[in-house]
Amino acid sequence: MDRFDISLPDDHPREECGVLGIYAPNEDVARMAFFGLFALQHRGQEAAGLAVSNGQSLRLHKDVGLVSQVFTPNVLEKMEGDYAIGHTRYSTTGSPTARNSQPFMIDTQYGPLALAHNGNLVNAGELREQLMQSGVGLTSTSDTEVMIMMLAGAKGDTWFERIKDAMQHWCGAYSLVLLTKDQVFAVRDPWGVRPLSIGMLPNGGHVAASESGALLTLGCVSIREVKPGEIVALSNTALQVNQALPPAQKSAFCTFEHVYFSRPDAYWDGRSVHSVRHRLGEELAYQEPTEGDVVIPIPDSSISAAIGYAQASGIPYNIGFIKNRYIGRTFIEPTDYLRKQGVALKYNVVEETIRDKRVVMVDDSIVRGNTTGPLIQLLRNAGASEVHVRISSPPIRHPCFLGVDMGTYEELIAAHKTVEEICQHVGADSLVYLTLERMMKAIGSQNGYCNACFTGKYPISAQNGFSKTGFENNIG
């Protein structure tokens, strides 16, 4: 389908992806998957896809657009079966085109296979070159296609064995779901970089999803996280579990799941995301007390931190911005005039909250530095006497190669400006970032998390020259 994106500035990391796997005998699995993907929509809005099996054959439907745009009642009615995997996509390797949307599906000597993936393989370029030299044709620029082609040629008598064989060669972040004609698998990398949880359906069957909130949406109970290095086959009774690779000596759970990516109702590494964000706000208030009249969040991911900041500081919390959640993806091309409105298309200010007030504006991160300034200007236009910016994470100074779209130093404002220079750039009266130590205190763990975007200390070495669209020139 055709879709025009309004070019809106954004200071946040781009979403990763959401994956979903379901085995639900005697249920309308396609409709279940639709609502599960809907609960994961915040993790990617570029494309959505769904593959369903009836035990004999697979049917796939995917396209660019939101879940509600890609799947109509007529589409879902044709997708009958007990097994399904789905995906919501924001591109981190490969451009946002239909050919890169997921799941990927191929025929193998063992039968049909579909795969949906959240993460990035840092050695995808090397693996891709090996496949092409062996005569394997590739049709996309996604590392997910590399993974499914490797699975098709992997060694082993069972899918457990073949998945384990392929995992020996994958280096990087992958939380993925696999669909065969009569099985669904959930797989997580040894570092545990990206989230993946499993829940049991009350009437039989299991669901795997990137976030526990999607499992709750479908009524799951007995939810647990897939362990690093684990392969889990969803079934009607007990889960079939295989520890394919030993967990890495040092896990590398993504801190940004707590800071920004996950919905507040999710649990990540056994911790409530809302509670962690609340504590991030508290630590931010304790770190450098600020005089102010009102604390406001940038909706939606900063709400929990702003509430924590307000409670710890004693400054009243209120709503300052109203977010138009539907402006980011539209079928209508905006006029040049509307394009120049920029951030004002996405946010409106509640003037009664702001006028003649010293505003403490809480946000979770600043990546590119192109939204914070316009937001501050909106507040000043609404009559704010002062605007103090408080960020509930440290400065992002290094790119991510493990599934977040911030792949170059050039786009990271903190990589080439000091905090004071950023403050001047965005036009704030003051700017404070939470320290790394206080952030990890709020999370409740000093170890086991990947903080490479803050520190430059990567848990997995990335290839030189890795870029999101690095495979594009290899596609005919």
The enclosing domain of 307 has a CATH number of: 3.40.50.2020
- Determine which one of 17, 254, 400, 453 is catalytic: 17
Instruction: Name the helix (H) or strand (E) containing 379.
Output: helix 372-381
- Above pLDDT 70, what percent of the chain? 89
pLDDT at residue 470, as a whole number: 39
> Of 86, 432, 453, whose CA–CA distance to 261 is shortest?
453
Is the pLDDT confidence value at 219 over 70? yes
Helix (H) or strand (E) holding 296: strand 294-297
Least confident residue range of 55-59, 87-91, 247-251:
87-91
Nearest to 197 by CA among 166, 218, 168: 218
Interacting residues of 125 by C-beta distance below 8 A, sequence separation 6+:
463, 466, 470, 471
- pLDDT tens sequence across 290-336: 999 999 999 989 999 999 999 999 999 999 999 987 665 555 666 77
Q: How confident is the model at residue 99 (pLDDT cuts 50, 70, 90)?
A: low
Full DSSP string of 95-108: -SSGGG-S-EEEEE
Q: Is residue 267 part of a domain?
A: no
Collect all residues with Cβ–Cβ distance below 8 Å to 285 and sequence separation of at least 6. 308, 309, 310, 312, 313
Task: Assess whether 318 and 431 both reside in one domain.
Answer: yes
pLDDT in tens, 363-422: 999 999 989 999 999 999 999 999 999 999 999 999 988 877 666 899 899 999 999 999
Cα dihedral 305, 310, 311, 313 in deg (nearest 10): 120
Judge contact between 169 and 244, C-beta under 8 A: no
Structure tokens at 173: 């972040």
**Residue 361's closest CA among 377, 338, 339, 346?**
377
Compute the distance between CA of residue 312 and CA of residue 277 in angstroms, rounded to an integer: 13
Question: What residues contact residue 162 under an 8 Å CB cut-off, 6+ apart?
Answer: 110, 151, 154, 155, 156
What pLDDT does 248 receive? 95
Note whether 66 and 48 are within 8 A (CB): yes
189 vs 91: CA distance, rounded Å:
19
Mean of per-residue pLDDT scores for the chain: 89
Q: What sections of 412-461 are H helices per DSSP? A: 419-426, 436-443, 452-455
Instruction: Determine the average pLDDT of the residues in 19-44.
Output: 95
Q: What is the pLDDT of residue 20?
A: 98
The predicted pLDDT at position 407 comes to 62
Residues 301 and 242 in one domain: no
412 found inside a domain? yes
Asked whether residue 83 falls in the same domain as residue 220, the answer is yes
Q: Is residue 130 part of a domain?
A: yes
Q: What is the pLDDT of residues 136-172, one digit of tens each?
A: 877 766 788 999 999 999 999 999 999 999 999 999 9
Integer Cα distance of 317 and 297 in angstroms: 9
**Per-residue confidence (pLDDT) for residue 6, from 0 to 100:** 40
Q: Would the pLDDT of 8 be above 60?
A: no
Is 17 known to be catalytic?
yes
| Mean pLDDT confidence for 165-193 | 97
Bigger pLDDT: 9 or 344? 344
> CA-to-CA distance for 322 and 104, rounded, in angstroms?
38
Average pLDDT (252-259) is 95
pLDDT in the model for residue 341: 77
N-to-C CA span, the chain? 22
Cis peptide preceding 13, ω within 30 of 0: no
Residue 335 within any structural domain of the chain: yes
For residue 164, what is the domain's CATH number?
3.60.20.10
Instruction: State how far the Cα of 196 lies from the Cα of 208, in Å rounded to an integer.
Output: 7
**Is position 455 within any domain?**
no
Q: What percent of the chain has pLDDT over 90?
A: 75
**Residue 360 in contact with residue 296, Cβ under 8 Å?**
yes
Q: Decide if pLDDT at 77 tops 70.
A: yes
Do 247 and 278 lie in a common domain? no
Same domain, residue pair 57 and 164: yes
Same domain, 209 and 276: no
For the CA atoms of 407, 411, 417, 419, the dihedral, rounded to the nearest 10 degrees, stands at: -80
- As to burial, measured by CB atoms within 10 angstroms (0-12 exposed, 13-18 middle, 19+ buried), residue 2 is exposed
Together in a domain, 92 and 154: yes
Residue 394 in domain: yes
Q: Does residue 307 belong to any structural domain of this protein?
A: yes
Greater confidence, 235 or 222?
222
Residue in the block written with tokens 């050695």: 123
* Residue 63 tokens, joined: 């396209």
User: Are residues 26 and 132 part of one domain?
Assistant: yes
Amino acid identity for residue 3 in this structure: R
For residue 130, with 0-12 CB atoms within 10 Å meaning exposed, 13-18 middle and 19 or more buried, which class applies? middle
pLDDT tens sequence across 380-395: 999 999 999 999 999 9
**What is the tally of helices (H) and strands (E) in the chain?**
16, 23
CB 273 within 8 A of CB 255: no
Task: Quick: pLDDT tens for 198-210.
Answer: 999 998 999 999 9
In this structure, the answer to whether residues 229 and 295 fall within a common structural domain is no
CB 14 within 8 A of CB 21: no
**Structure confidence at residue 190 (pLDDT):** 97
Cα–Cα distance between 364 and 82 in angstroms, integer? 40
Q: Quick one: tokens of 294?
A: 């009102």
Residue 95 banded pLDDT, cuts 50, 70, 90: very low
405 versus 279: the higher-pLDDT residue is: 279
pLDDT at residue 63 is higher than 60: yes
CA 427 to chain centroid, in Å, comes to 30
Q: What is the mean pLDDT of residues 272-290?
A: 97
- Is 124 domain-assigned? yes
Angle at 260 between CA 256 and CA 263, to 5 degrees: 115
Find the domain containing 186 and state its range.
Answer: 17-252
Residues 51 and 140 in one domain: yes
User: What is the number of structural domains in the chain?
Assistant: 2
**What confidence category does residue 97 fall into, taking pLDDT thresholds of 50, 70 and 90?**
low
Indicate if 90 and 127 belong to the same structural domain: yes
Are 348 and 226 part of one and the same domain?
no
Long-range contacts of the stretch 468-473 (C-beta < 8 A, 24+):
468/91, 468/92, 468/93, 468/94, 468/95, 468/405, 468/407, 469/94, 469/95, 469/141, 470/93, 470/125, 471/93, 471/94, 471/124, 471/125, 471/128, 471/141, 471/142, 472/94, 472/95, 472/141
